[in-house]
Amino acid sequence: MPALRLGSTAPDFVAETTHGLIRFHEWIDQSWAVLFSHPDDFTPVCTTELGDVAVRAEQFAARGVKVIVSALYGMLDEQDLSNTDSTGMPYTVRDVFVIDPNKVIRLKISYPASTGRNFDEILRAIDSLQLGDAYPIVTPANWNPGQKVIVHAKLGNEEAKKHFQVYDTKKPYLRYTDDPRKSIKASLWDKICALFSKSYAADKDNA
């Protein structure tokens, strides 16, 4: 199997799941997907992770993300079994993959067996990836949705002005602007208020 690197196509596979037999790419369809694994049933750290994912089901669904989890023992090859931690746990068991609708691996995080996955961070990264796909921006350190983003370096100043009404230039290569979705919401609200004002004025004139 080829290495699972960022930018590579996630392998397709057939698996028996709690929801029946699936083919991975067909199951993803046009959604995003999070794929992660655990070593076996009734393992303590993974139990807390599965519970947290269940609690966050609506958060993933709101982002158009499907989550699938695999128990990997019995499926590991010699390469996996030769790369283990001090307890004998294969490192590959603790990987997390975020896969986009084109079946491309966009994020990969590897956790040691002793450390539970941080789903706040995984959701934050998905928000960043989806926003960057929709607009020519990147996100700074510790960014969270709604906070300022960075204008993509590929845009010259004139082109940036076409995309963003206002941006703050800290350095020629570092230009901050508002979260585009926040600006769109504000713009829509302004239009709604303007329409309401016109309607109110017309009603007043006709009174």
Residues annotated catalytic, as ranges: 46
Rounded Cα distance between 159 and 179, Å, is: 17
Rounded Cα distance between 60 and 70, Å, is: 18
Q: Give CA 37 to chain center in angstroms.
A: 17
Q: Give CA 22 to chain center in angstroms.
A: 22
Sorted by sequence, the CB contacts under 8 Å of residue 86 that are 6+ apart come out as none
Three-state secondary-structure class, residue 128: helix
Rounded Cα distance between 137 and 126, Å, is: 14
Sorted by sequence, the CB contacts under 8 Å of residue 94 that are 6+ apart come out as 37, 110, 111, 112, 113, 117
